[in-house]
């Protein structure tokens, strides 16, 4: 669900929480749109579009990590973000290859990526806590992503058929945590704005 950048700001610099708030809401919006598209392409039986959505999810995660890292010193200064970008890009390639063997094979690749991505997110959120605080939704999200990755791998080897909709709960939980994180930063900002305007 995306490893979040480690803040690498000099002493006396305020955390860029307004931008981070918009970033969280953007991540929520993409995840919500992805879920809607997943239901639509599954109902239509559009296997090509389903494959594109599957491969596109880690690609979006990689791109989002790069954008976020550039706001905080770049990938070189944010190792967890750098590693997550590489892992997400590799996962997209792996998914494209695995899809040739069927969705079950692709789901295993997705599960491995989700577990690794969750680990990076957990580490990054713990580090970010010291500068911004309020990172508990992202900590929970990282832990949940690791668990969901293991569940996805298990489901891929199970007897029940798997489709793109198998991943909807994983993406849905991610959307919820991004929304919660955005609101966690938005509410104090709104209160400050109101107090300053009085």
Q: What residue spans define the domains of the chain?
A: 32-193
pLDDT > 70? residue 172: yes
pTM tops 0.85:
no
pLDDT > 90? residue 38: yes
- Of residues 104 and 121, the one with the higher pLDDT is 104
Average pLDDT over residues 48-73: 91
pLDDT for position 4:
43
Q: How confident is the model at residue 79 (pLDDT cuts 50, 70, 90)?
A: confident
CB neighbour burial string for 15-47, b if at least 16 within 10 angstroms, e if fewer: ebbeebbebbbebbebbbebbebbeebbeeeee
Q: How far apart are CA 84 and CA 118, in angstroms?
A: 9
Which CB contacts under 8 angstroms, 24+ apart, belong to 127-131? 127/6, 127/7, 127/80, 128/4, 128/5, 128/6, 128/7, 131/7, 131/9, 131/15
Average pLDDT over residues 128-157: 80
pLDDT > 60? residue 156: yes
Largest CA distance in the chain: 63
Q: How far apart are CA 124 and CA 103, in angstroms?
A: 31
pLDDT > 60? residue 33: yes
- Of residues 108 and 193, the one with the higher pLDDT is 108
Average pLDDT over residues 92-97: 96
Structure tokens at 180: 């919660």
- Of residues 168 and 71, the one with the higher pLDDT is 168
Q: How confident is the model at residue 10 (pLDDT cuts 50, 70, 90)?
A: very low
């Amino acid at each position: 669900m995306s490893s979040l950048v480690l803040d690498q700001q000099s002493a006396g610099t305020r955390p860029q929480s307004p931008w981070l708030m918009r970033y969280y809401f953007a991540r929520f919006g993409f995840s919500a749109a992805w879920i809607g598209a997943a239901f639509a392409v599954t109902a239509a039986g559009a296997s090509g579009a389903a494959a594109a959505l599957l491969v596109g999810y880690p690609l979006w995660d990689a791109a989002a990590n790069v954008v976020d890292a550039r706001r905080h010193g770049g990938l070189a200064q944010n190792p967890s973000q750098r590693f997550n970008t590489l892992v997400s890009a590799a996962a997209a390639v792996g998914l494209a290859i695995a899809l040739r063997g069927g969705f079950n094979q692709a789901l295993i690749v997705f599960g491995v990526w989700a577990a690794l991505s969750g680990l990076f997110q957990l580490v990054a959120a713990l580090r970010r806590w010291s500068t911004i605080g309020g990172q508990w939704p992202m900590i929970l999200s990282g832990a949940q992503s690791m668990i969901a990755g293991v569940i996805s791998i298990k489901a891929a080897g199970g007897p029940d058929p798997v489709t793109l909709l198998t991943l909807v709960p994983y993406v849905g939980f991610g959307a919820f945590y991004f929304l919660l994180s955005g609101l966690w930063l938005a509410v104090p900002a709104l209160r400050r704005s109101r107090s300053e305007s009085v």
